[in-house]
Structure 1
Amino acid sequence: MQAIPLDWPMRDHSRVIRCRPHEWHVQVMGQGPDVLLLHGAGASAHSFHRLAPLLAGYRVIMPDLPGQGFTRAGGMMRLGLDAMADDLATLCNDQGWRPVAIIGHSAGGAIALRMAEVLPNPPRAVVGLNAALGPFDGFAGWLFPRLAKAMSASPFVAAIVTRLVSNRNQVEMLLKGTGSVLDAEGVALYRRLVSDKRHIEGTLGMMAQWRLEPLIERLPQIMVPTLLIASDKDRAVPARVSREAAKRIPRAQYIEIAEYGHLLHEEAPHRVSEVILPFLAENSGGLSLVPDPA
């Protein structure tokens, strides 16, 4: 396990869990019913460090996905959607966690819905934050998975990508390309992630193995209450993706928050928590700390 920096967000809540096939870095805070938070591709659990403390009344469980952040992948062929969902379900069972809700950002939203299908005790609610529930369009949909697969096959590519994208200007450009504007601390944290060759290898491996189409086809069969939250300035996963997915999931709600980009939960954690908490109280059986309207 790579050493977790002393100044890493929520480090006091970090733990290392060896649960085959991976060596997991997980951060756990709070008390109450379990809520699992899943970050998107290229991020880590740190992306919830401003949202998690606002989810009072719940025990929030935030793993780094296999190969990303500080979770050491036990097998580079276990980085696709189905494999990650299965391995996270195994981790929950191993630790005795029973998530009443799963909250996923971007690709984490797709993993959350897949986990709702495979967990022996399914969650009572799923929340997707700018959830990646649609394939790339047109030529990009053909090219990107093949490009990622080719890149991940070479042991030298991750080092090259790390050198190319890890300077501050490149990181700022990548983040702005999502439609989000982060403060200096947010930019610095992503720069530290993309400066890690193992993190880049894990992200490329996830992209190479990502197969979303079977889940998209099954959306009408997913019966868990689902809240899809999108932001109108998201350039990575346009709001229409969540809007259209919500129409296909029988018990889904859709909410759009204006003026933010793909990293909505990092830019406006209070706005996000104000939407999530009432939904969790209604659907997860948890405690509501939201006052009743007068």
Structure 2
Amino acid sequence: MLKHSIPPSPPAGDPQSRFIEINGIRIHYRRLGTGGPLILLIHGSFLNLDSWSEVMGPLAELGTVVAFDRPGFGASDRPLPGPGRSGMALYSAEAQARLVAELIPELGFKRALLVGNSTGGTLALLTALAQPERVSGLVLIDAMVYSGYATSEVPAAVRGFMAAIKPVFSWLMGVLIDRLFAKAMRRFWYRPERLSDERIAQLKSEFMQGAWREAFFELFLATRKLALDQRLPDLRLPTLVITGEHDRAVKPEESLRLAQAIAGAKLCVIPESGHLPHEEQPTAVLAAIRDFISRLA
């Protein structure tokens, strides 16, 4: 049984806005295009499906494109643990990867090309490793594999202490995020002056809905070291690794290392961009993905 906060507000006036329930969690998504392949877009932390707005339309010319809000973000549910359902079962990387894999057949497809950015790239990679039969290929955009989300873990003793007084720590985390949100968003961009104050305010309001503090704290507690680097030799799927030339969150050297570790992977460096090249330089990213899909076909 899940405990739900007040559901986030769905986007107003968006005819492509839809909802689907996966394991009791209401997932908000946007769908464009028809036919195959299914191109499934997975956003990074603090963002939502709007991160893909610049590339969704053009990609829909190639098949069916679906971008969704991960649990805890955008207009998707921010479920909280209840009897029989722990925070790990809701927000661990493995739980999120299972949700991605289960979403694919619910959308009417057997397999999908997974396109993930930042922590979304981590989840795309983990999904491919866990259920390769659901994945036709990977596009990993500044994916966190050797640093950040994929290598972070709160020590067990500290985690137990924090879990014992969740209201205090979730409140403190909320205060910290509130104060540093704008700075973090600008750090994702190579040219932060292009990111308007209005856009940052919109991102902040979309993130801070419902029980966002409690939900994000559960995600924080559920973060574990994934040791993905040790599993990369097992990956046998077509893979495109994309990096922003000036990414400060995931250094380009990490993406180069990732491309070298995956058999047959191709690396594409996007000039004049940071951690979100699909937002800063969508034309270049689209060209790389189109070329990759044409090679798959």
TM tier relative to shorter chain: 0.7 to 0.9
Q: Once the 2 structures are TM-superposed, how far is the Cα of residue 136 of structure 1 from its aligned partner? A: 4.3
Following superposition, the deviation at residue 100 of structure 1 comes to 3.4
Deviation, 1:164, is 4.7
Task: State the shift of 1:51 in Å.
Answer: 1.5
Structure 1 residue 6 displacement after superposition: 1.3
1:68 matched to 2:73: yes
Distance 1:273 1:245 in 2: 21
Shift of 1:132: 0.7
What percentage of aligned pairs have identical amino acids?
A: 25
Deviation at 1:103, TM superposition (A): 0.2
Distance 1:23 1:145, change over 3 A: farther
Residue 13 of structure 1 aligns with an amino acid whose one-letter code is: Q
- Asked if the contact 2:75–2:206 (Cα under 8 Å) also holds between the matched residues in 1, the reply is no
- CA deviation string 1:193-216 (max 9, x = no partner): 343353344344333323343322
- Change in Cα spacing, 1:187 to 1:37, as seen in structure 2 (3 Å) is same
Give the AA of the match of 2:187: G
Q: Distance in 2 between matches of 1:81 and 1:164?
A: 23
Residues of 2 paired with 1:208 and 1:155: CA distance?
13
From the superposition, tell whether residues 144 and 263 of structure 1 become closer, same or farther in structure 2 (CA, over 3 Å).
farther
Query: 2:281 aligned with 1:271, yes or no?
Result: no
Which one of 17, 31, 35 corresponds to residue 34 of structure 2? 31
CA RMSD of aligned residues (A): 2.8
Conserved 8 A contact 2:138-2:237 = yes
Q: Say whether 1:100 aligns with 2:112.
A: yes
C-alpha displacement of 1:151: 6.0
162 and 136 in structure 1: CA distance in 2 versus 1, 3 angstrom threshold: closer
- Name 1:54's counterpart in structure 2: 58
Question: Could you tell which deviates more after superposition, 146-155 or 196-205?
Answer: 146-155
Q: Shift in Å at residue 163 of structure 1?
A: 4.5
Shift of 1:275: 0.9
Q: What aligned pairs does 1:191-230 form with structure 2 within 5 A after superposition?
A: 191-196=204-209, 198-230=211-243
Quick check: 252-261 or 65-74, which moved more? 65-74
Q: After superposition, what is the alpha-carbon deviation per residue over 1:121-141, rounded to whole angstroms, capped at 9, x for unaligned?
A: 33221001111111349xx95
Tell me the CA shift for residue 225 of structure 1.
0.8
Q: Which region of structure 1 is more displaced relative to structure 2, 61-70 or 172-181?
A: 172-181
Aligned residue pairs total 277
Cα deviation 1:83-110 (Å, max 9, x = unaligned):
1111221222233233431100011112
Residue type of the partner of 1:57?
L
Which consecutive unaligned segments of at least 5 residues does structure 1 have?
286-294
Q: How many angstroms apart in 2 are the aligned matches of 1:266 and 1:44? A: 12
Task: Give CA-to-partner distance per residue, 1:53-103, whole Å, 9 cap, x none.
Answer: 121222111121112222214453221111111122122223323343110
